[in-house]
């Protein structure tokens, strides 16, 4: 399994040139193998970006449809926030100011999976294997 950070999903969907070659390869290989996942908090982040007008969707596309398209196109497993993930996110192991990023990092740690992310704070977390 490979966990995708929210921006990795958005870059894949609309701005592939913003992905590193390594991240793009990991996404495409994971897509083919059916091993990609994301934390459910990523969907909330995308919805929030839409609401705030910080994410321009294709004309006539509703936020829920946009998210469904990404999930289906990548074959993503959407992972819930479990008690273990929530506890790990707030344990101090992931010293990140953004609670969503702590949850995403904790999801990867609990799953023992690499995380596709450009976030330098997550790259610095001991034991978190990051791809970029």
- Hey, what domains does the chain have and what are their CATH numbers? 2-131 (3.40.50.1010)
CA 101 – CA 106 distance, rounded (Å)? 8
The predicted-structure confidence for 104-117, as pLDDT tens digits, reads as follows 999 999 999 999 99
The predicted-structure confidence for 86-104, as pLDDT tens digits, reads as follows 999 999 999 998 999 999 9
| H or E segment and range at residue 130 | strand 130-131
- Based on its alpha-carbon atoms, the radius of gyration of the chain, rounded to whole angstroms, reads 14
Count CB atoms within 10 A of the CB of residue 70.
19
Q: How confident is the model at residue 59 (pLDDT cuts 50, 70, 90)?
A: confident
CA 84 – CA 60 distance, rounded (Å)? 39
Mapped onto helix, strand or coil, the DSSP state of residue 84 is: helix
Token pair recorded at residue 71? 């999930």
**CA 88 to mean position of chain CA atoms:** 17
CA atoms within 13 A on the CB side of 87: 4
CA 85 – CA 32 distance, rounded (Å)? 27
Average pLDDT, the chain: 96
């Amino acid at each position: 399994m490979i966990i995708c950070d929210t921006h990795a999903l958005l870059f894949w969907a609309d701005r592939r040139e913003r992905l590193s070659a390594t991240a793009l390869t990991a996404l495409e290989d994971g897509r083919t193998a059916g091993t990609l996942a994301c934390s459910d908090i990523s969907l909330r982040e995308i919805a929030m970006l839409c609401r705030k007008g910080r994410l321009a969707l294709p004309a006539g596309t509703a936020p829920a449809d946009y998210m469904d398209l990404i999930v289906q196109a990548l074959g993503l497993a959407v992972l819930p926030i479990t008690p273990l993930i929530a506890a790990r996110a707030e344990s101090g192991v992931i010293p990140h100011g953004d609670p969503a990023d702590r949850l995403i990092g904790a999801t990867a740690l609990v799953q023992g999976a690499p995380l596709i992310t450009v976030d330098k704070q997550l790259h610095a977390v001991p034991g978190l294997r990051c791809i970029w």
